Structure 1
């Protein structure tokens, strides 16, 4: 049996790149070994424990080993080796190697600028972040996020976003929060862990308006001051400003209650102890610039309610709203009493001047009494009367609404029917008019037609040549149909012609007389009427004939004399 060592070995190329975390298969081929070679896989001089499938060709001349494994991130850039050896021959091992180029999702790390102290960033400072991306293939996009919202480049607002850096110019308190960056390549998206940006700023009062506090002489009053700041303030200062000047309140009269909150316990001893209270807090960034202000006034009973009105009224309930007056500087409750005659139906109190009264009954006439109350007493009362709806009225209103709807629908139907009828009548009238008024036809008296035919026949039998006959008529076209039924009026020619009746025919008022016509032109001498015959042609392509009477139009007369046989003259 012949023993041959392997001639060469190669790792077959792949169409797709190897990706971290995705199962892959590589093939290694050895050729020329007899008996078939044994193929093993090595990673940086260490044999891989992954089992490989080895197949031999039919002629035992070629061996292929298939490696199936899942690449890890730490294997990127390492050397993968395929070795082919012969079990019966020593020193016959040959090998081939490749450097692994693994693709993977971007690995992203975000951090503040290396020269920045994350615990000492105040309002107005410039802040920048660094986004470090490890990616194969390289990332084609980097997106920045603030508190989960995507940020865009806006240089006017001081936000400069790049692929590797984010700069915030003149940072303010609203830009504090969590920042992250996301890088993308063909393998996917990699997002960094969030980095929290803390912006140090001075305390700011949460209340935007001056609060009114009512206090009675020799009665303790509690005033609460709340501010927003980072870090939270630990020191507060209270002052009282009145006609006597500005004085600072002793620290033992107020306490720190919670984060950013101070409570003042104040007891006015006389009228001089009223005025304007101010609260200022101080933190690491400094003292509060604009203090929280309170107007300290003598506590009194509240003012009466006003502008009470019914928002919604049914057969059993009512919704009422009023406008509150001055509450006297104390906690105030608002009351409504419902009376039917002398019976108290309901008594309801709320923290706001708005009530929904139920179970009032149908068709009742009720009196409502409104007032406000605090620790100093009750306000004056306000009275309003209402009448709940009856169920019959509700049913009638519903039916009337339905009837209005039905009547509106019926009226629309009637209008549509009338309009359709009018359109149909107009169309029928137009069709009838066209049928009873056919287009105008051209007719001529029978005697005129016969005379015209006789003139044509006498002309055709005359021995005189056409130029010597001296006709005074415009000859008709060759397509004139002589065999047409004489009883049927001819179609109107472009120029209608009428010939003077022959000698001996009767002349009536319906006949045209041309023997007295003498056309005068610069080139034609005046000839007697007996020397020329005249014809008249219609200038507007038609002459209407009705009942033997010709309606006269403008006429064109053409004459030809023996002296000027070839010259034709026309006059209008």
Structure 2
């Protein structure tokens, strides 16, 4: 029965379809060509719209038929002819598509055919035919198209190389990326996004692919950013490809790695004042670089190898610390810190600090340009320069001459200006060491001495300018002439007599070894005419001595008497002090004699008993000497003069020629007993004068012993003198004077000059000359042999 009913329904539906088909061609021309596009992804459920609203309000739908493409048999039908839309009969084709369709009537316009799990073959033109009771039939066309997703986006750089991984770009350079997809239906859109914000939506559709050269099935989007800024650092780009707005886009993430050059670098010095030799700490900090910069230090353009105390690198900053010990040579140099991003060529950033190193003055004294010490002579001018290196600048510059500070003095020719010293009209007083001293707020310094030695002609050395030499006839005296000169290696000597040029006594190589500027001349006067003035002349490469060293040869005389003799009563002795007179040019010593003042007194009788030499008898009223004392100085001490008696003291000056007139001290009386020791060197004494006075017989033995000792001493002295006289006679010494002079010759001639007169055969005039014999070349005081040509 059911089969029969279904057959009847299908038959009637087919008849109606044929009829309505014919009617559509004639009556439904208004909907022709109106196609509604419906996109769907494979596997999605899709709804195809169909409007069931009657054209007139009182009309109603009696039949809805869905056709696909050009197939004449309905895919789906709804029959409302019998019982209306509420109880309408739904029918679907028995194929795969029919089994997945269902019509939803809704409220007129919202009627739709729902297709479940759309497949690729479901694509096509669906036609919805709506039959009304009184109105013409309507047809609605729906194009069901499945969306075809494009391929996953591919990213290319500006050189056309596919970007794999994280692309790298440089700050300040242009930025270019290309996102490309192929396929897709409908035509996909390709967009660039940054952190969820659209930055480029322009789709470029080339005729030919820029990458593969194939047809325009590719869709691309070129992203170009001129001058990459820091805002892109750490960002992430997205390329989205989407074929339909309703579909889910295909996304390719592109994380960016932007190389950033250092943004800033700064040097900090912990010490405001930098002192030479004192360590300081320097800090350099850089930030803004990616990757973090490497810091490099340099001083005066010279890089430090490993000076960093500590280095800290953070995400995009670097800190470096440096320990420095600067010297004065580093003053004015630049301390530089360079931030280097090794991944960013040309992205280095440097800061420099000009260093001012404080140090005390370094002082150097020099000759000014144009002056030469080798040619410096008396009368020249000289200019010195004090070179001072210091930081800060010196506040004082001082010149010293032999450690004596110099002051500006125009009258004395000392001119000081800033750092120069000018000396006008040089003399020997300007010779010596010159140093300059500089001082600043840090300290002070002094230069090494600059030694000034002027060349000058010889001159006499004190005290050899002029001397009186007393010489006895036939005695030989050594005349020592010492001079000062510069240079010393060319000094030559000559001698003159009575300042007569014709009487020059030339001396070759008369200067002793070791360049001692000395000439020694042995001179022997044989007649009174040989007494006069000898002049010693010296010369060197500068010139000849202007004023000679004078030796006035005078006859030897006895010394002058002593003056101002005084007595002092000490606790143990009587002291006599005198002032010597002129020695007449010969060495002298002094003699004191003690005599009793009462003629015929016991004191004199006792002295006669002792056999004092009668040649030394005093004047009338004075007795012979009780004893004598010799001394090199005019100072004597007298012990044990018997109190209660008057004495006369006679003091003499004695030289080789004789002795002076005595200086007498008369009526010397001793009130109290003096000391107990009467012995003095150089004389003979009577011990304990009380023993020679009558009524002291108990001391006779002591007196006899003293007399015997005194006689023994005299005999021994006479023997010594005889021995000395014999020795002198053998060595041809001058004749011995009277023994009463109590002197001993101390001069032994080393070389003898005997002046004599020679006559020229032509002019028959006398000339005085000297000949020298070189007895020993090793003796610096002996003069070499010289031959004199008297014909000149």
* Alignment TM-score, normalising by the size of structure 2: 0.43
Question: Pick from 75, 82, 102: which aligns with 2:330?
Answer: 75
* 2:510 matches 1:283: no
In 2, Cα distance between the equivalents of 1:222 and 1:273? 15
Q: Which residue of 2 aligns with 1:151?
A: 406
- Aligned counterparts, 1:154-553, within 5 A: 154-205=409-460, 206-207=462-463, 210-232=466-488, 234-241=491-498, 248=503, 250-251=505-506, 255-257=510-512, 259-310=516-567, 312-317=568-573, 319-336=575-592, 347-350=629-632, 352-353=633-634, 355=635, 357=637, 368-384=649-665
- Aligned counterparts, 1:6-25, within 5 A: 7-13=263-269, 16-25=272-281
In 2, Cα distance between the equivalents of 1:51 and 1:204? 69
| Matched position secondary structure for 1:217 | coil
CA contact (8 A) 1:315 1:391 kept: no
What do you get for the CA RMSD once the two structures are aligned? 3.9
Q: 1:12-32 deviations in whole A, cap 9, x for unaligned?
A: 255623232222221212345
Q: Which residue of 2 aligns with 1:98?
A: 353
Offset, 1:67: 1.7
In 1, Cα distance between the equivalents of 2:508 and 2:453? 33
Offset, 1:252: 5.9
Cα 1:358–1:383 change in 2 (3 A) is: closer
In 2, Cα distance between the equivalents of 1:217 and 1:346? 30
Q: 1:329-360 deviations in whole A, cap 9, x for unaligned?
A: 3222223456896597873411x43x263866
Offset, 1:146: 0.9
| Matched position secondary structure for 2:586 | coil
Offset, 1:141: 2.5
In 1, Cα distance between the equivalents of 2:640 and 2:288? 107
Cα 1:253–1:98 change in 2 (3 A) is: closer
Offset, 1:71: 0.8
Larger radius of gyration: 2
* 2:330 matches 1:47: no
Q: Which residue of 2 aligns with 1:65?
A: 320
CA contact (8 A) 2:494 2:507 kept: no
Cα 1:193–1:36 change in 2 (3 A) is: same
In 1, Cα distance between the equivalents of 2:526 and 2:516? 31
In 2, Cα distance between the equivalents of 1:255 and 1:389? 64
| Matched position secondary structure for 1:103 | strand
Q: 1:147-181 deviations in whole A, cap 9, x for unaligned?
A: 11111111122111011321111111111111122
Offset, 1:317: 4.4
Higher normalized contact order (CA 8 Å, seq sep 6+, divided by chain length): 1
In 1, Cα distance between the equivalents of 2:578 and 2:392? 69
| Matched position secondary structure for 2:436 | strand
In 1, Cα distance between the equivalents of 2:569 and 2:525? 47
| Matched position secondary structure for 2:275 | coil
CA contact (8 A) 2:641 2:673 kept: no
Q: Which runs of 5+ in 2 are unaligned?
A: 1-233, 235-256, 597-602, 608-624, 675-792
In 2, Cα distance between the equivalents of 1:271 and 1:391? 54
Offset, 1:269: 1.7
Cα 1:171–1:363 change in 2 (3 A) is: farther
Q: 1:297-318 deviations in whole A, cap 9, x for unaligned?
A: 22233333233223x5421245
| Matched position secondary structure for 1:250 | strand
In 2, Cα distance between the equivalents of 1:50 and 1:362? 100
Q: Which residue of 2 aligns with 1:108?
A: 363
Q: Which residue of 1 aligns with 2:285?
A: 29
CA contact (8 A) 1:316 1:361 kept: no
Offset, 1:391: 9.9
CA contact (8 A) 1:314 1:388 kept: no
In 2, Cα distance between the equivalents of 1:391 and 1:48? 99
In 1, Cα distance between the equivalents of 2:672 and 2:412? 63
Cα 1:90–1:197 change in 2 (3 A) is: same
Q: Which residue of 2 aligns with 1:132?
A: 387
In 2, Cα distance between the equivalents of 1:389 and 1:7? 116
Offset, 1:265: 0.9
Offset, 1:36: 7.2
* Alignment TM-score, normalising by the size of structure 1: 0.57
CA contact (8 A) 2:309 2:321 kept: yes
CA contact (8 A) 1:317 1:359 kept: yes
